[in-house]
Amino acid sequence: MKAFFSSRLHSFRYAFHGWHHVLRTQRNAWIHSGIATAVFIVGLWLKIPPRDWAVIILTAALVFTAEFLNTSIEAVVDLVSPDHHPLAKIGKDVGAAAVLVSALAAIIIGLLLLGPPFWQKLTTLIPNP
């Protein structure tokens, strides 16, 4: 049983090393982190309901997962194909497209969930002339 828990602990350690690597080396991960933080702050300010939080959290997780997978694809492609190769380019481009698709979906979801309450809150804060 001790070996089981020890191996789980190592698995978490490896995962956090990967997370740290992505945040340390990928500029887009910083952009995703900044936008996610802003969205979470706005969600708290708007007091969105739990179901909306679930969708926001899943959406952010999707974007980060795509970024992590893209980073791992790029690393493996660089390892096996250090020279420029058309198939290596396709692999990297498709990985980047996955990140783009998830980020665009996140923007749309954010606008749908946060847009109406944000607009309503703004209209109550700005006095009518």
CATH number at residue 90: 1.10.287.3610
Domain membership flag for residue 38 = yes
Residue-level pLDDT at 126? 83
Task: Show the domain range for 90.
Answer: 27-125
Confidence of residue 100 (pLDDT cuts 50, 70, 90): very high
Q: Which of 77, 62, 74 is nearest to 110 (CA)?
A: 62
Residue-level pLDDT at 3? 85
**Residue 128 is encoded by which pair of tokens?**
């009518």
Domain membership flag for residue 22 = no
Q: Are 112 and 48 in contact, with CB atoms under 8 Å apart? A: no
Give the type of residue at 43: G
**Residue 79 above 80 pLDDT?**
yes
Mean pLDDT value across residues 69-85: 94
Give the HSE-up count for residue 116: Cα atoms under 13 Å, Cβ half-sphere. 5
Confidence of residue 127 (pLDDT cuts 50, 70, 90): confident
Annotate 52-103 with DSSP letters as a single string: HHHHHHHHHHHHHHHHHHHHHHHHHHHHH--S--HHHHHHHHHHHHHHHHHH
Domain total in the chain: 1
**Residue 124 above 90 pLDDT?**
no
Domain membership flag for residue 99 = yes
Catalytic residues: 67
Mean pLDDT value across residues 70-88: 94
Q: Are 121 and 56 in contact, with CB atoms under 8 Å apart? A: no
